[in-house]
Amino acid sequence: MPTTTISTLEAWEALDSRGRPTVGCRVTLQGGGTGRVITPSGASTGDFEAIELRDCDDRYDGYGTRSAVDRLRGPISDALIGLDAGDQRSVDAAIEALDADPALSGIGGNSALGASLATLTAFADADRSPLWRVLDPSGVPLIPLPMVNIISGGAHAGRAIDIQDILVVPLGSSSFTEGIEWAARVRAATAALLTEQGGWAALVADEGGLSARLESNEAALALVTSGIERSGLRVGDDVAIAVDIAASQLVDGAGQIALRSEDIALTTEEWIARLADWVQHYPIVSVEDPLGDNDWDAWRGASARLASIQLLGDDLFATNVDRIEKGIAEAIANSVLIKPNQAGLVTRTADAVTTSRRGSYATVVSARSGDTEDSWLADLAVGWRAGQIKVGSTMRSERTSKWNRLLEIEATHDTQYAGRAALALS
């Protein structure tokens, strides 16, 4: 029997960074290799991602995951014990075979991802290889360009502003180490400006960004731009801005974009025009999910109007190969956010990266608002040569664990840095 044969699978209810239950899973191999993961969970979830299994009872306001744990201990464990952890496709196929729903609603996307990822990390342990090296056996490791949260709103910060995240991208940095320091410098400068304006910089959102009730969404863009200036870095050259709109959370019953913090609703045409104006007046190089996740016509218009920048699909694509292929065929967006728990399985996620790259779309590997202390996401971004990574801000340990892992890889290996070239810019 190979030493990489799965011998045991254990599972338990764990907590994510918001204090909500999630799933922990440990896979042990015949030769002693082990893999342990705790799965993340999103707040602004799209309609097309894998479905988490929740208990919906009186524990944790219904968010308990005992039912998901039971799936892991029962049918998933039964299906995986005896399989070779080195054959990830067979492992994931065995998990998929347990559920007729592509969204994995029967066994739970959280359960499926836990087993899939724990198997991958167990194999890396048995192989005595870094996780990224298992995914990229021969290449020089490519360290991704970071996209770092500075101000949060939307579902990540009690809707203090409508825009979900305003982030910085250290375009001019020569290494990840330099880039993450620049981002931390901008965050500190922005926090100081916020305090001077009468805000309270101690408020921290789900992903570690600043949270503040500002007079408008544009005021938040202006604040971060001023933060870049105050940090002593060059606006647009050293550091630029990325925006996550999370528009699926803003679409009202009439199909308009409702900016509740400003008490206005805009048609999609008016909204796209406003975004174009922001791009003209602020150093914005990336806009994520500017429109609803099923409004392909509006996305088509935005793709034409905002062709000069990175137009990033999250809820639109949901780390789903079929949806990504549709976007590529119709020239909608030009980049894809990659979230393993949207897909629910390692191989599904890897296929989404491959499909995006085949269509010349940029990829951004992303954490979730309810994340964990695990650092495997950093290794996935390196191993898949994604080029960009979006984790959160430069504080809170579930965020810094990923940044610290990338710092470690860059410091201890001969690496390449993706840098500005990773962005989808015309």
CATH code, domain carrying 326 = 3.20.20.120
Report CA torsion sign: 68, 71, 72, 74. Answer: positive
pLDDT score recorded for residue 156 = 47
135-190 pLDDT per residue, tens: 999 889 999 999 999 998 865 445 578 898 999 999 999 999 999 999 999 999 99
Mean pLDDT of the chain: 94
Query: Please, which residues bridge with residue 254 across strands?
Result: none
- The one catalytic residue among 49, 52, 339, 390: 339
Say whether both 110 and 251 belong to one domain.
no
CATH code, domain carrying 34 = 3.30.390.10
Buried b (16+ CB within 10 A) or exposed e, 248-283: bbbbeeeebbbbebeeebbebeebbebbbebbeebb
* DSSP character at residue 76: I
Give the containing element (helix H, strand E) for 282. Answer: none
**For residues 398 and 86, what is the distance between their CA atoms, to the nearest angstrom?**
28
pLDDT at 292 over 80: yes
Say whether both 82 and 183 belong to one domain.
no
14-53 pLDDT per residue, tens: 999 999 999 999 999 999 999 999 999 976 566 788 999 9
Pairing of strands 257-259, 264-266: antiparallel
**For residues 74 and 9, what is the distance between their CA atoms, to the nearest angstrom?**
9
Say whether both 373 and 410 belong to one domain.
yes
Q: Select from 69, 146, 83, 68 the least CA-distant residue to 120.
A: 83
Say whether both 80 and 173 belong to one domain.
no
Q: Is 49 a catalytic residue?
A: no
Domain annotation covers residue 202? yes
Say whether both 110 and 244 belong to one domain.
no
Domain annotation covers residue 134? no
Say whether both 159 and 209 belong to one domain.
yes
Say whether both 338 and 402 belong to one domain.
yes
pLDDT score recorded for residue 198 = 82
Backbone Cα Rg of the chain: 21
Domain annotation covers residue 339? yes
Print the domain residue range for 232: 142-422
Say whether both 34 and 178 belong to one domain.
no
pLDDT score recorded for residue 359 = 97
pLDDT score recorded for residue 53 = 96
**Structural domains in the chain (count):** 2
Domain annotation covers residue 273? yes
248-281 pLDDT per residue, tens: 889 888 889 999 888 899 999 999 999 999 999 9
Q: Is 138 exposed, middle or buried (0-12, 13-18, 19+ CB in 10 A)?
A: exposed
Domain annotation covers residue 268? yes
Q: Is 402 a catalytic residue?
A: no
CA 425-45-143 angle, to 5 degrees, is: 40
pLDDT score recorded for residue 158 = 53
Domain annotation covers residue 135? no
First to last CA, the chain: 53
pLDDT score recorded for residue 426 = 76
Say whether both 13 and 56 belong to one domain.
yes
pLDDT at 245 over 70: yes
Say whether both 114 and 157 belong to one domain.
no
**For residues 217 and 263, what is the distance between their CA atoms, to the nearest angstrom?**
12
Say whether both 281 and 394 belong to one domain.
yes
pLDDT score recorded for residue 159 = 58
> What mean pLDDT do residues 54-59 have?
95
The answer to whether residues 286 and 263 touch, using CB atoms and an 8 Å cutoff, is no
What is residue 63's three-state secondary structure? coil
Instruction: Tell me, yes or no, if the pTM score tops 0.75.
Output: yes
**For residues 120 and 138, what is the distance between their CA atoms, to the nearest angstrom?**
18
pLDDT at 222 over 70: yes
- The one catalytic residue among 96, 207, 398, 410: 207
60-70 pLDDT per residue, tens: 999 999 999 99
Give the containing element (helix H, strand E) for 248. Answer: none
The two three-digit tokens of residue 351, written as one number = 């296929």
* DSSP character at residue 177: H
Say whether both 117 and 146 belong to one domain.
no
pLDDT score recorded for residue 157 = 46
Query: Please, which residues bridge with residue 242 across strands?
Result: 167, 286
List all residues 6 or more positions away from 304 whose beta carbon is below 8 Å from its beta carbon: none
Domain annotation covers residue 237? yes
